[in-house]
């Protein structure tokens, strides 16, 4: 069987596995959600996760099954008499070799996933993400080969969540909803807006301590470390609002610096970007107007 054949058959197996485990592609955590989201990006570890899961389930059934048979059959109370044998080279070779073969298959699949994850080439857009205690900053660096002028903003926990999460606030977290979803601790004042069907490269750094940028629907998290620029990419296939959280302990408000990615159609994104750039220009002009007369006054 060729490696492509293996991959196809494993993918088919994984697909069948997923079907039996529920098929919803969760964009945000659902109440009583049991499994990982399939995600909305071109890259997803979901199939690998399911293959790993079912390998474990099958081995578990065999091993625990054998154990329970042994516990039933070889009870002293049923008159079992202990046998004398203490080893079997043949058996020991079998249960060393079979796991090795399973591991080789898993390693091959996982290596494929790593290679595609590491490949940030051919991206059409760059966004710089900076983690701060306890908010995120997003700076748009370039889009379709052209530099973006001064579009960047802080993104922090929105106010109603912030009020509710205070110790003994007596406010009900269940009441914080957007479009029927509970967004307690998962909503921000200003989301990261990105286009769909665009390969986006993120450059991720830490401003003070280490944070980790994680949106489950994008399939990965990566640490935001002071002094180190990490890179990762996504290509979102469906418009929507995708929520995540900081995943690396970063101090007292680590649990209160959510991430919201709003993926919109390309045209809508371009319009949004133009507006932002215009606003930045207006602000800049206003600033120059304010600072320009100053020397005259002093003079």
Partner 1 sequence: MAHAATHDHHDHHGAPASFVQRWLLSTNHKDIGTLYLIFSLTMFFIGGAFAMVIRAELFKPGLQLVQPYFFNEMTTMHALVMIFGAIMPAFVGLANWMVPLMVGAPDMALPRMNNLSFWILPFAFIMLLSTLFMPGGGPAGGWTMYPPLSLQGESVAYVIFAIHLMGISSIMGAINIIATILNMRAPGMDLLKMPVFVWSWLITAFLLIAVMPVLAGAVTMLLTDKYFGTNFFNAAGGGDPVLYQHIFWFFGHPEVYIMILPAFGIISEIIPTFSRKPIFGYRAMVFAIASIAFLSFIVWAHHMFAVGLPMGAEIFFMYATMLIAVPTGVKVFNWVSTMWGGSMTFETPMLFSIAFVILFTIGGFSGLMLALAPADFQYHDTYFVVAHFHYVLVTGAAFSIMAAAYYWLPKWSGNMYSETWGKIHFWSSVISVNVLFFPQHFLGLAGMPRRIPDYNVAFANFNMISSIGGFWFGASQLIFLGVVVHCVYFSKKKAADRSWEGAKGLEWTVPSPAPHHTFDVPPVIHDDELAHGDTSH
Q: Which of residues 143-202 bind partner 1 (CB under 8 A)?
A: 164-169, 171-174, 182-186
Contact with partner 1 (CB under 8 A) among 3, 8, 22, 75: 75
Question: Smallest distance, Å, CB 87 to partner 1?
Answer: 5
Residue 219 as a binder of partner 1 (CB under 8 A): the answer is yes
Dist CA 6 CA 12 (whole Å): 10
Order across the sheet with 135-143: list the strands: 146-155, 135-143, 125-132, 200-206, 230-234
Closer of 197 and 230 to partner 1 (Cβ) = 230
Question: Smallest distance, Å, CB 138 to partner 1?
Answer: 18
Question: Smallest distance, Å, CB 197 to partner 1?
Answer: 22
Cα 200 to Cα 119, 182, 267: the distances in Å are 12, 28, 16
Closer of 227 and 299 to partner 1 (Cβ) = 227
CB 194 within 8 A of CB 200: yes
Return the residues of window 82-141 that contact partner 1 according to CB under 8 A: 82-88, 91-92, 95-96, 99-100, 103, 106-107, 109-111, 113-115, 117-118
CB 125 within 8 A of CB 144: yes
Cα 219 off chain centre by? 4
Return the residues of window 15-74 that contact partner 1 according to CB under 8 A: 26, 28-37, 45, 48-49, 52-53, 55-56, 59-60, 63-64, 66-67, 70-71, 74
Closer of 126 and 212 to partner 1 (Cβ) = 212
CB 224 within 8 A of CB 210: yes
Closer of 152 and 207 to partner 1 (Cβ) = 207
Return the residues of window 247-266 that contact partner 1 according to CB under 8 A: 247-256
DSSP structural state of residue 42: S
Question: Smallest distance, Å, CB 7 to partner 1?
Answer: 14
Residue 212 as a binder of partner 1 (CB under 8 A): the answer is yes
258-264 and 181-182 beta bridge pairing:
unpaired
Query: Is the CA virtual torsion 85, 90, 93, 98 positive or negative?
Result: negative
Closer of 20 and 88 to partner 1 (Cβ) = 88
Dist CA 52 CA 29 (whole Å): 22
């Amino acid at each position: 069987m060729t490696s492509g054949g293996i991959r196809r058959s494993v993918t088919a197996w994984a697909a069948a596995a997923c079907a039996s485990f529920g098929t919803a592609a969760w964009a945000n955590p659902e109440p009583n959600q049991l499994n990982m989201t399939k995600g909305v990006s071109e890259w997803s570890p979901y199939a690998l996760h399911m293959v790993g899961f079912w390998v474990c389930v099958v081995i578990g059934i065999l091993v625990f099954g054998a154990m329970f048979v042994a516990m039933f059959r070889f009870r002293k109370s049923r008159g079992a008499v202990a046998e004398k044998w203490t080893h079997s080279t043949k058996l020991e070779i079998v249960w060393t070799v079979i796991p090795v073969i399973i591991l080789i298959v898993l390693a091959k699949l996982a290596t494929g996933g790593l290679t595609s994850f590491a490949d940030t080439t051919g991206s059409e857009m760059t966004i710089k993400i900076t983690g701060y205690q306890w908010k995120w900053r997003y700076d748009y660096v370039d889009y379709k080969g052209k530099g973006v002028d001064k579009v960047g903003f802080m993104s922090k926990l929105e106010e109603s969540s912030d009020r509710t999460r205070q110790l003994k606030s007596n406010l009900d977290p269940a009441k914080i909803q957007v479009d029927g979803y509970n967004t307690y601790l998962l909503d921000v004042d200003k989301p990261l807006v990105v286009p769909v069907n665009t390969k986006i490269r993120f450059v991720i750094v830490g401003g003070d301590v280490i944070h980790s940028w994680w949106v489950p629907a994008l399939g990965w998290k990566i640490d935001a470390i002071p002094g180190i620029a990490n890179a990762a990419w996504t290509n979102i296939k469906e418009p929507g609002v995708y929520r995540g959280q900081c995943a690396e302990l970063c101090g007292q408000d680590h649990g209160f610096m959510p991430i919201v990615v709003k993926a919109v159609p390309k045209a809508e994104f371009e319009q949004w970007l133009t507006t932002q750039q215009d606003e930045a220009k207006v602000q800049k002009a206003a600033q120059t107007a304010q600072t320009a007369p100053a020397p005259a006054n002093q003079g």
